[in-house]
Amino acid sequence: MSNKKVVTNFFWRFAERCGAQLVTFIVSIILARLLDPEVYGTIALVTVFITILNVFIDSGMANSLIQKKNSDDLDFSTVFYFNITVCTALYILMFLAAPLIAAFYEIPELTPVVRVLSLTLIISGLKNVQQAYVSKTMQFKRFFFATLGGTIGAAVVGIFMAYKGMGIWALVAQQLFNTTVDTLVLWITVRWRPKRMFSFERLKSLFGYGWKLLASALLNTVYNNIRQLIIGKLYSSADLAYFNRGKQFPNLIITNVNTSIDSVLLPTMSQQQDDVSRVKNMTRRAIKTSTYIMAPLMIGLACCAVPLISWLLTDKWLPSVPFMRIMCVTCLFYPIHTANLNAIKAMGRSDIYLKLEVMKKVLGTLLLLGTMWFGVYAMAYSLIVESLISQVINASPNKKLLDYGYGEQLKDIMPGILLSLFMGACILPITLLKMPSIVTILLQVLVGAIVYIGGSAVLKIEAFEYLWRAASPAVRRLMGKP
């Protein structure tokens, strides 16, 4: 596959993520002004269960279709019918469990919310194989139209219902509408359709690779969401809302950059899995470039947290600032995790992938159990410790598989991180000037960009020069130059 096609698909995926997250971000600001934090905390309790069950739909089998070099219609149709069966069973489970979930949190009105929101499980099952087909054939333009159509439509529905005072049902309708439209657009624009064929042999073969990724994703999702369940039970809905709101802004950035890289990297690496040196070069490039982009964004966001929250969400959401800063530090290292894990998956070593997830979740669970009784902040800080240790765990197999260990990776990312810290030291004192929030933010962004880009040029940081070379042709075309 040519570099041009890889870059083109990355930018389509990046544009889709940016567009969707930008709309979602704007809508969340409007809804945060219309709704109380407790409403967000309540919907988060339900979303935790939906997110965990979605792992059975989104992980494992779809990745098997992408990773398999010669997957055909029989493979895709088999996984499609398997997914529909699983999704129906999961919805029935949630429908029956809804009263128990409501009783556990002592919120009776959760029962109908769980039953309605769980319909997204069946709808997601209908689009899962379509998504795998798009990724396999590198048609990421399709995601752009499907995601934006659902996100924009859901935004209108959610804001209208919130304005009419429908509270939590505005958030339920928003999620349901988004998933439905996303699925419909994919079915209209993607040519693949399930055939009347099914093979238990193919299912067994795909499951042999996929179940390890499914187990890994399930461990990861349960662990990532268990904090919300504990906060919702031991503390208050408001605490949960502030914790989730603090994650929102870093996740907005990490989703755009990291998900775009993740989506394109796995199918690209999988096609080159027999060429170890090429996979190593792809992994190195992904780590260096994505960390160079991510580090200033995360550190800059942490420094702008107070004026940004105050300006966008009003002062009632200021308790979410410490959580935002903690999550910025945690998310800063996500590109290292993503690139290393994609290399392991692309090489067909889902067994190693599963072992790594088990190790990390044992570590994370011990940290969580040790901090959950000391408050929400202690639970959040444990995420930083886990992220730092997990870097070493994720990188360790690639010392043998690719001859690219953590020490070498650390050397590759250090210039961008050190320059980002210097930039943060330059822009943080601007908040002490007591200017209006919007003026403070604009000044911080301007100074931060000058320091980081200027410093990159002066120090000749390799990732900066690579991005400049990659972007120069497009810039020249925009300016009308040959």
Question: Is the pLDDT confidence value at 470 over 90?
Answer: no
**Given pLDDT bands bounded at 50, 70 and 90, which one contains residue 1?**
very low
For 368-397, the pLDDT digits (tens) are: 889 988 888 999 899 899 888 988 888 888
Give me the pLDDT at residue 475, please.
56
User: How much of the chain, in percent, has pLDDT values that exceed 90?
Assistant: 11
The DSSP H or E segment spanning 28 is: helix 3-34
**Listed range (101-110, 299-308, 444-453) with the worst mean pLDDT:** 101-110
Among 17-31, 236-250, 264-278, 411-425, name the most confident range: 411-425
Kindly state the average pLDDT of the residues 449-459. Answer: 90
Kindly state the average pLDDT of the residues 103-112. Answer: 82
Q: Are 265 and 63 in contact (CB under 8 A)?
A: no
Question: Is the pLDDT confidence value at 451 over 90?
Answer: yes
Kindly state the average pLDDT of the residues 441-458. Answer: 92
Question: Is the pLDDT confidence value at 433 over 70?
Answer: yes
Greater pLDDT, 142 or 110: 110
DSSP-derived secondary structure for 87-141: HHHHHHHHHHHHHHHHHHHT-TTHHHHHHHHTHHHHHHHHHHHHHHHHHHTT-TH
Question: What tokens appear for 343 in the block?
Answer: 């290399």
For 55-90, the pLDDT digits (tens) are: 776 655 666 776 666 777 788 888 888 888 888 888
**Listed range (15-29, 138-152, 254-268) with the worst mean pLDDT:** 254-268
What does DSSP assign to residue 403?
S
For 183-228, the pLDDT digits (tens) are: 887 788 777 788 888 888 877 777 766 676 677 777 777 777 788 7
For the chain, the domains span: 268-482
Give me the pLDDT at residue 400, please.
81
Give me the pLDDT at residue 18, please.
62
For 399-412, the pLDDT digits (tens) are: 887 778 888 888 88
**Listed range (15-19, 29-33, 245-249, 295-299) with the worst mean pLDDT:** 15-19
The C-alpha angle with vertex 129 and arms to 125 and 131, in degrees rounded to 5, equals 100
**pTM greater than 0.75:** no
Give me the pLDDT at residue 39, please.
72
- How many whole angstroms separate alpha carbon 13 and alpha carbon 257? 9
Give me the pLDDT at residue 422, please.
94
- For residue 212, CA distances in Å to 219, 349, 358, 400 come to 11, 9, 11, 21
Question: What tokens appear for 36 in the block?
Answer: 């109380």
Greater pLDDT, 427 or 34: 427
Residue closest to 50 by CA, chosen among 225, 223, 186: 225
Greater pLDDT, 250 or 468: 250
- How many whole angstroms separate alpha carbon 37 and alpha carbon 316? 9
- How many whole angstroms separate alpha carbon 209 and alpha carbon 68? 9
Question: Is the pLDDT confidence value at 146 over 80?
Answer: no
Give me the pLDDT at residue 450, please.
93
Q: Are 298 and 421 in contact (CB under 8 A)?
A: no
- How many whole angstroms separate alpha carbon 239 and alpha carbon 228? 10
Kindly state the average pLDDT of the residues 310-316. Answer: 82
Q: Are 206 and 61 in contact (CB under 8 A)?
A: yes
**Listed range (55-69, 290-304, 319-333, 430-444) with the worst mean pLDDT:** 55-69
For 329-374, the pLDDT digits (tens) are: 988 888 788 788 877 777 777 778 778 888 888 888 899 889 988 8
Would you put residue 190 in left (φ > 0), alpha (ψ -120 to 50) or beta? beta
Q: Are 286 and 260 in contact (CB under 8 A)?
A: no
Give me the pLDDT at residue 263, please.
56
Q: For all residues of the chain together, what is the average pLDDT?
A: 79
What does DSSP assign to residue 1?
-
For 236-251, the pLDDT digits (tens) are: 777 888 888 888 888 8
The DSSP H or E segment spanning 231 is: helix 200-234
Give me the pLDDT at residue 195, please.
84
